[in-house]
Structure 1
Amino acid sequence: MNSRNDRTDLVDTWNGKVEEWPKVRFGDVCEIVARQVDPKLDQYAKLPHISGVNIESGTGRLLFLNTAAEDKVTSNKYLFYSGDVLYSKLRPYLRKALAVDFQGVCSADMYPLRVDRDYLDPEFTAWLLISDSFTKYADGESRRARMPKLNREQLFNWTAQIPPLSKQKTINSYIKWQFDKYIRSRMAAKAQLEAAETLPAAYLRSIFQGPEAESWLILPLGEAGEISSGITLGRRVSDRETRPVPYLRVANVKDGHLDLSDVNEIDATEAEIEKLRLKSGDLLLTEGGDADKLGRGTFWEGQIPDCIHQNHIFRIRFDPSRFCHRFVAAQIASPYGKAYFLAHAKQTTGIATINQKVLSAFPLMVPPVREQKRIALMLDARRTEAERVHSALADRLKAIERLPASILSRAFIGAR
């Protein structure tokens, strides 16, 4: 077993001798052994079944494994054996290859490769097939077809400088050591990111389900603010004069923010515009969608002049001397608010909706307006910090997920 210092210097050990490695045509040192079998037959149904979805992109890691029977496959599959290398020929840019140490069946979208053991180690071959050098070649060749796919001739015509078997095993050792570190780092980064994603809800829960909230006055939302629906598409306006104005659709109203990148227009009368024109501080809530999106909404800040809203969006307007719209929006978006809407929504297959009656009855917790503003400012600060932390962790995870290509590039710096 190599020591840590030895492993750190492994690449330096072989880089200086790359020019001595023979350049080999891939088809001269391996073959495709593609015997098709019926996975419904008992002797094959019990075998492990592998397709592209089983292999992690860019790492060659086996993610999960079922039998052919468990996967309920019915079409013919290729039989493979221990020591073979499986390569996914569809969309080579996904970098999916695996050296197997068991017998099984694989998708017809994979090549079961049997290497010449005098020249190639199976594990080294799998790494080679997801390396930058091979992937660039395979991706370029496969894009000649409508569906990116590497055919046998293209696969076998690739050439690379192949080190001796002893060096291949050294390279294997280096890659596995680096990939073990990569996997641990990625798992830690994902756990940190997932923890960061729970922060906004945790902040809201601490406010609206904390001990302080128990002393606050509760008012039905319909008494606290004026609730109105929006304009109906396809309505008849007879001979009344209209003009085009921007209007918000459900697609524009997200959970905690507005997406104004694509705002449509609708012809409306002056009376409709006057009645439905949004004002800064208006709270906007969608009437339904997926169950986890109930109570989805945010507030309007006057981003677009003369903007109105669709009838599938509720507008709630408050007296600013009594209510802080940011505080109300945060409360409705909190686990407290989500729980209310989930409990009172009308649910059909895949869809959950609320009506104006349910919305009007929402039990709004109302501390003094000064306290509402203080809490809203505090939550804004916490949300900003949570977004900063989340962004930093997401960037870190992206950087970590680029490591496999870097590791393989360093390992195969001599492959051409």
Structure 2
Amino acid sequence: MAKLLEITGKAISGEWGQDDDTGTGIPVLRTTNFTNEGFVNYKNVVTRSISKKNIAEKYLRHGDVIIEKSGGSDKQPVGRVIFFEGEENKYLFNNFTGLLRVQNPEEWLPKYVFYALYAYYRNGGTRAFENRTTGLHNLQVDNYVKSVDIPKLSYRKQQHICETLDHVRDAVAYRERQLTKLDELVKARFVEMFGDMLLNSLEWPEKPLEGLADIVSGITKGRKTTETGLIEVPYMAVSNVKSGYIDWTTIKTILATKQEIEQYRLMPDDILMTEGGDPDKVGRGAIIKNPLKDSIHQNHIFRVRLDKSELLPAYFAEYLQHQKAKRYFLGCAKQTTGIASINMRQLRALPVLIPPLPLQNQFAAFVAEVDKSK
């Protein structure tokens, strides 16, 4: 195992710093600057005015591995790592993170150690070293690092592995940027064809959603039923419905009656919309194009089945991501402890602008071509 020195981050308050409104203070990396791919996200880096003088050892150096010590969740364990390749002696890190600095770099290439820790995290290896206090997940870094068995290879072999994985990681990042550009292209095309939704600049007619679709809530988990012969079927949860796409990473199952399966069964081109979430994401929705056999949806999701003689799924799914729909949901949502939610009545009343069907068809064809590129 590589010999590592952990340097614990300090709280960015008191002698270690106060908020710096000028932007000229010392930049501090936090867990919000971590990415699941191991890159440093330099957006929203905070700066602090540091009063303590002896902070030389706290500055990050090229090749440092920063590990997430506190935070995480049941779905995303603590222990993410990022590899620092930025400017030396410029950045600090806060107390929710720790720094792992290889002490014998002549034997262990720092990036090789990073990739090994990254693999352990992605394979769930950090979960055994978590404890939880006051709702936070905390990583027992010393015990974790000592337990990780990194294969000892020649320095040249380590370099070869890192070069290979660098190419793979760069290729993945490049493809993700391409996907982002394609999404931006769809949004630009939408505005070009239909105008500003908020201002209704092209003066399209408007109708409430209830006159354009069949809208139902889903099955309630934990409900009581006296029927026998329940059938295990897949169901879509809130975690599966993102803004503009369906996340198939984890699909759960539920026991349901034949009647419930008939009532809630999802069909191709249904729109799934969430009941609640972060205020800026309430009412998010996506098309489920190829639902699994006999799949249904939970009660925190609305299923919207459109009348395609007036409103096409491709148009409506994109409409939900623009300001007219977003502001409507934000304006009527009930908010408690940072979570916003809408009810069936509010969703039914959503005002929808309705361009001519041939124009919607043109947009749907454009989206289909973009999807092929994806």
TM-score (ref. length: structure 2): 0.56
Correspondence for 1:204: 190
Alignment partner for residue 68 of structure 1, among 46, 50, 56? Answer: 50
Q: Aligned partners of 1:366, 1:330: CA distance in 2, in Å?
A: 13
CA contact (8 A) 1:247 1:265 kept: yes
Aligned-pair CA distance for 1:318: 2.3
Q: Distance in 2 between matches of 1:331 and 1:51?
A: 38
Name 1:146's counterpart in structure 2: 143
Seen in structure 2, the aligned counterparts of structure 1 residues 266 and 322 have a Cα distance that, compared at 3 Å, is same
Contact 2:26 2:48 in 1 (8 A): yes
Offset, 1:252 = 1.1
What residue identity is the alignment partner of 2:217?
Answer: S
What secondary structure is seen at the aligned counterpart in 2 of 1:378? helix
Deviation at 1:384, TM superposition (A): 4.7
Q: Identity of counterpart residues, as a percentage?
A: 30
1:368 aligns with 2:368: no
> 2:240 maps to what in 1?
252
* Alignment match, 1:323: 311
Task: Name 1:307's counterpart in structure 2.
Answer: 295
Give RMSD over aligned pairs.
5.0
Q: Deviations over 1:198-255 (max 9, x none)?
A: 5444433344444986342211101111110000001111234421111111111111
Alpha-carbon distance between aligned partners in 2 of 1:58 and 1:277, rounded to the nearest angstrom? 41
Aligned to 1:231: 219
- In 1, the alpha carbon distance for the partners of 2:286 and 2:246 equals 7
Q: Distance in 2 between matches of 1:225 and 1:246?
A: 24
In the alignment, structure 1 residue 136 sits paired with structure 2 residue 124: no
307-316 or 295-304, larger mean C-alpha shift: 295-304
> Counterparts in 2 of 1:150-229, with a 5 A limit?
198-210=184-196, 214-229=202-217
* Corresponding letter in the other structure for 1:268: A
**Distance of aligned partners of 1:380 and 1:348 in 2 relative to their CA distance in 1, 3 Å threshold:** farther
User: In 2, are the aligned partners of 1:247 and 1:308 still within 8 Å (CA)?
Assistant: yes
Q: Structure 1: which 5+ residue stretches go unaligned?
A: 1-38, 42-47, 112-128, 150-190, 389-416
- CA deviation after TM superposition for structure 1 residue 285, in Å: 0.5
* CA distance in 2 between partners of 1:50 and 1:349 (Å): 30
2:94 and 2:254 map into 1 onto residues whose CA distance is: 51
- The CA distance in 1 between the partners of 2:93 and 2:272, in whole Å, is 52
| TM-score of the two chains, using structure 1 as the length reference | 0.51
* Cα distance in 1 between the residues matched to 2:110 and 2:200: 64
CA distance in 2, matches of 1:201, 1:371: 15
Q: Tell me how far apart the structure 2 counterparts of residues 365 and 289 of structure 1 sit (CA, whole Å).
A: 25
Report matched runs for 1:332-343 at 5 Å.
Answer: 332-343=320-331
Equivalent residue of 1:315, what SS?
strand
In structure 1, how many angstroms separate the alpha carbons of the residues matched to 2:300 and 2:200? 34
Q: If each structure's helix is expressed as a fraction of its own residues, which one has the higher value?
A: 1
Deviation sequence 1:129-152 (CA, Å, 0-9, x none): 999758617976x99963659xxx
Contact 1:281–1:325 (CA<8 Å) still a contact in 2? yes
Greater RCO structure (CA 8 Å; 6+ sep): 1
**What is the aligned partner in structure 2 of residue 178 from structure 1?**
none
Corresponding residue for residue 357 of structure 1? 345
- Could you tell me whether the CA contact under 8 Å between 1:203 and 1:379 is conserved in 2? no
The answer to whether the 8 Å contact 1:282/1:316 transfers is: yes
